[in-house]
Amino acid sequence: MAQLNFDGRVAIVTGAGGGLGKEYARLLAARGAKVLVNDLGGNFMGDGADAGYAAAAAEEIRSQGGIAEANVLSVASAEGAQGIVQDALDRWGRVDVLVNNAGIVSGAGSLDEITDEQWQRDMAVSASGTFFMCRAVWSLMNATQNYGRIVNIASGSWFGMGSGVPYPAAKGAVWAMTRALASATRATGRDVKANALMPIASSRMTALMGEEIHAIMDRDFPPRAVAPVVAMLAHEQAPCNGEMFTAGGGGYTRVFAGVTRGYRATDKDWTPETAMAQFDAVMDTEGFSIPAGSMDESAMYTSDVPWDAFRAFIK
């Protein structure tokens, strides 16, 4: 297979001042992309700001022969997101790749201990930040360029993370956004693809778990081992749209939400007892389906509803 290069492409990677984001930026630059390294420079809980992280990462990429510039605006506001995109446009005239990696984890602990501020901060960066960045490039990629690749960084916390709620909720929103964006581009036929990735890697968070655990994570799940999947999804030959993957330790796998065959009756006056009696059948995952969108899932029920009219209405 020919090498996947990014010559002539422009990429924005948010949260790229260190860790996973820096590895994504480094690989894209090494393969020929011009990369805007965005990072506000706060800690993983969202506190503080330090322009040195983005500057150092961009300098490191340049020292390795790549093209990179630093940007320190925050993704957590519409103005910040638009400013990030405008910076790339002012420097290089286009944006071909957007990797939404910026995220924080401020809301830890049991639900009754999480503050309003913790909830809002997690949502502001991981969920709203992804939304603001995608919106800032949407018209450019769809109407102007008819080309773009969006890689949204989600998280395995989506499956559940102990008692934590804000971070998994924000990352679940990222997954839902990715599906919605892909559905929109499939409807228009534009050459714009959006996919999501749940990385498994050592990070500033694993460092807090102690030197021993962090060393094992760094050995078995180094950030660089996730970057190849990001590059694949960011490439013009990206083989999918609207998919989610998990990657770490040198491999990757598909993650999906499916619908079982379930119990689909024509009786609209059925009872809770019937629901209980059919529970095992509803839980059986054999013969599951993966709907392309919400209308496809609804159409699996027996009815005469013209679902195509709904599809046309929500385009």
Catalytic residue among 167, 252, 263, 301: 167
Helix (H) or strand (E) holding 34: strand 34-38
∠ Cα 123 127 130 (to 5°): 140
Residue 28 DSSP code: H
Place of tokens 């989600």: 154
Please indicate whether residue 53 is annotated as part of the active site. no
**C-alpha closest to that of 46 among 138, 131, 115:** 115
> Looking at the annotation, which residues are catalytic?
167
